[in-house]
Structure 1
Amino acid sequence: MVANLGTPKSPPALGIPDSAYTVDVRVIDTGTLLHLNPSLFWQPPIDGFTGLHAPIYCFLVSHGNQHVIFDLGVRTDWENYAPKIVSIITATTTVTPGSDVPSVLDGDTSGLGIRSADIGAVIWSHNHFDHVGDVSRFPPTTDLIVGPGVRGASWPGWPTNPDGTVLDSDAEGRVVREVSFEAGLKIGRFDAMDFFGDGSFYLLDAPGHAVGHLCALARTTADEPTFVFMGADACHHPGLLRPSNYLPLPSTTSLNGILTGPSQCPGEILQQLTRPDEPFFTVAPRMFPDHDAAMDTVRKIQELDAADNCLVLIAHDLSLRDKIPLFPETINGWKGSRVKTETRWLFCNDFIPASGHHENERGIEESLVSQTTLEC
């Protein structure tokens, strides 16, 4: 057992420019689940933790009457992706189909009134199938925003390119804009681009996982500045971010109040899995081809994660499902509702054998027999 829980290191100043402007952020969970195989995304293995069926969070960002979407998740008819991608899905994962972002927007009966036709731009964090969705569901007036190098790496797509990983139709008939980070703006240690030009929403250069991978930072309140960080696939599990030397592992007593496993002292299990100031995992090279850059990106996120006024949301964080307000509600009031402090260590339940969480995972596995089951 680790006895010394460590003294938190003060996080560095992030240097986010002051601004009186904010955006409304709405988290969209389409209900689609994607099985994550730990060996592909993080290391080392933990006995009993064989993966999870994770959501894919997308974001509606509203700046007055301007609306953009950050990531689209998986298209409902994933069999119509490029053949190369369909083969990869079939070989490596399981998709539990849900809805899609355009259907969520157009089917909303809350009175919000933001439809797919009102979206000025779709931002791809990167060009992987579980984030690109089906851009053709949006009108030609909707621009497509991508990171550096993505345009050349993606098009021509399928069917023009038999080995294409995205579709020709993703770009046809619409403006595709590639982000540049040459202006020298920094948010923390991230190279940044001020999307609306007023400090309300930034796109961040976050390399490692894919060509031109982007994260984003939204200012959710101004009087007391608060922010939501959209981490996309910079990492795939909160255990890659925490513990850190800024957020050490809580005491065994505190952990026992968080965990739901059958052990009389589940906190002791966690104390044996890592040092109190080091994350449970590091990124696995297979899905992070620029491994050094990916590791540095994670370290940059840890600095934001340690800031009391920044809520970090990575795309596949199952521990937050049903714990955060979802579309059509905004997440702007996250700090006042204590979302961050009350959910920070919930992911640790993934590591407790035979916990209620894992029982739920097995139930999902069994339910897939009558749904879309793929060879993993």
Structure 2
Amino acid sequence: MASQQRWLAAPPSTNTVRVRLIKDLGQMSIPSALFFEPVAEGHEVFNGPDTAFLIENKNLGKKAVFDLGVRKDWWNLPPKVRDPLAFCIGVKVDKDVPEVLKESGVPLDAINDVIWSHSHLDHRGDVSLFPPNTILNYGKEMAAMKPEVTGKEEAVFLSSDFAGRRNNEIDFSNSTLKIGGFRALDFYDDGSFYLLDTPGHDHGHLSALARTTSSNAGNGKDTFILLAGDACHFCGVLRPNVSHPFPHPHLPNSTIGVSDVQHPGSLLKRHPKYQQSPLVAAELLEEARVNPWYGIAAGQLSTFQDPVLGQKTADTIKEGFDEAENVFIALCHDLSLLAEDNGKPVLPTLNDAPQGDLNSWYENGWKDKLYWTWVSQLGKQDKNGRIQMREPLVTGFWMNGKKYEKAQDVFDKALKE
């Protein structure tokens, strides 16, 4: 697939973890300007499903969950956290991770660790539903945001998020290991699963790198999945790039979910970089082919704590991981992860196929099939040349199966109950 093949190097190990995708943890339609810029016409709304990942280290007999999605009773979150949801077009949460785990035959007391990528409500779920033996892991910087530190008025967490279990603060300050440009910690001390320091979006934001096959174990290649959390929100922040230029004259035949996407040449002319100046169109078109569609949002609405650092992190992910042929990128809110081919999901999920996993992504060519699927989220151009915005994934604010037009209506309802 790549014009210039790259490979991620990591310390050798014979050990791997099993990675399973968890879906149906919430749907949110949100103004795109919160996450990336400059927002292209027709892409004013970002459709973001919530996903999480079940990690299993069979050698050690341990399981972990990376991120938890939105808690089902999101209206019970502290006001400072829940009130900004009023900016959304829609919020709906049908299930949470504990529910999916139990339905899939995974008892909650089998989960040794919960790992938060960061503090935002659409990642931390409701840890209190897990038994006390489950350890909560999070970036050290988040400790300053605990309720006993912030006080009730400024609270972003509930006391129940931390109570009654071991809290493990992940501290990269003394790490001497780097992978792909990021400071790293070996979570299981066996080379199978690393936590990476990926700052910018939120205090203590971290990602995870799962080794899915090992050349040292006789599997031919070392392959990995990067669980990037919210280091960036949309694949267009990473793509196109030097190793994977925008396809010309057509998208690869293997690409899934782009049957109604216009001709790539016409689509590329909507690249923000090309739009900068039509006077040097030919040069800019070629430049657009090898530069990401978007940058990290830096405007007033940005959800990034430090947009400059966030852009540096996104660039490092692009160059060190996304351009590497042996790494599959999993952004938490990437609709591509849920893409279907002829009505069947491309990737197996714990929800629908509990026995399946993502470890064979390389052999199955899933990276190739899904690499350009993100362009389907850009507005569609009609026959008259007008850009039509894609439909929101969800509209309205849902509480216990009922739709409300405004978030405040949900908050008011919760107060009465």
- The counterpart of 2:346, out of the listed 310, 318, 323, is 323
Distance 2:45 2:360 in 1: 31
1:166 to 149, 153, 157: 157
Which residue does 1:24 correspond to in 2? 18
Unaligned runs of 5+ in 2: 274-287, 339-344, 383-387, 409-417
311, 329, 335: which one pairs with 2:328? 311
Structure 2 match to 1:269: 267
Residue 365 of structure 2 is aligned to residue 371 of structure 1: no
Q: How does 1:217-296 map to 2 (within 5 A)?
A: 217-222=209-214, 223=219, 224-254=221-251, 258=255, 259-261=258-260, 263=262, 265-273=263-271, 274=273, 275-285=288-298, 286-296=302-312
Counterparts in 2 of 1:331-370, with a 5 A limit? 331-353=358-380, 361-362=391-392, 364-365=394-395
1: CA distance, partners of 2:64 / 2:74: 23
The 2-side partners of 1:280 and 1:359 are apart by 17
Per the alignment, do residues 250 and 135 of structure 1 end up closer, same or farther by CA in structure 2, a change over 3 Å counting?
same
Q: SS in structure 1 opposite 2:56?
A: strand
2:202 alignment partner in structure 1: 210
TM-score normalised according to structure 2 size: 0.81
Relative to 1, partners in 2 of residues 1:374 and 1:354: Cα closer, same or farther, differing over 3 Å?
Answer: farther
Structure 1 residues 256 and 52: CA distance shift in structure 2, 3 A:
farther
The answer to whether the 8 Å contact 1:157/1:166 transfers is: no
1:116 positional shift:
1.2
TM superposition score normalised by structure 1: 0.89
Q: Aligned partners of 2:36 and 2:406: how far apart in 1?
A: 21
Which amino acid in the other structure matches residue 94 of structure 2? G
Deviates more, 1:285-294 or 1:54-63: 285-294
Is the 1:74–1:132 contact (alpha carbons within 8 Å) kept by the matching residues of 2?
yes
Look up the match of 2:62. 66
2:186 to 177, 191, 194: 194
Deviation at 1:86, TM superposition (A): 1.8
| Per-residue CA distance 1:200-242 (angstroms, 9 max, x = gap) | 0000000000000000000011122111100100011100000
Q: Does residue 118 of structure 2 align to residue 101 of structure 1? A: no
Aligned-residue CA RMSD (Å):
2.5
Task: Pick the aligned partner of 1:301 from 310, 314, 317.
Answer: 317
1:187 partner amino acid:
I
Q: Residue type matched to 1:324 in 2?
A: L
The percent identity for this pair of structures is: 34
Q: Deviations over 1:324-365 (max 9, x none)?
A: 11112211111111110011001111224268xx78735744
Separation (CA, whole Å) in 1 of partners of 2:79 and 2:379: 38
Aligned residues of 2:29 and 2:392 also touching (Cα < 8 A): no
Query: Is the Cα–Cα contact under 8 Å of residues 52 and 361 in structure 1 kept in the other structure?
Result: no
In 2, Cα distance between equivalents of 1:148 and 1:93: 33
Amino acid at match of 2:28: L
Q: Which runs of 5+ in 1 are unaligned?
A: 1-6
Q: Relative to 1, partners in 2 of residues 1:260 and 1:267: Cα closer, same or farther, differing over 3 Å?
A: farther
User: What SS class does the counterpart of residue 112 from structure 2 fall into?
Assistant: strand
Distance change in 2, residues 1:147/1:364 (3 Å)? closer
In 2, the alpha carbon distance for the partners of 1:375 and 1:270 equals 37
* Alpha-carbon distance, 1:260 to partner: 3.0
Aligned length: 361
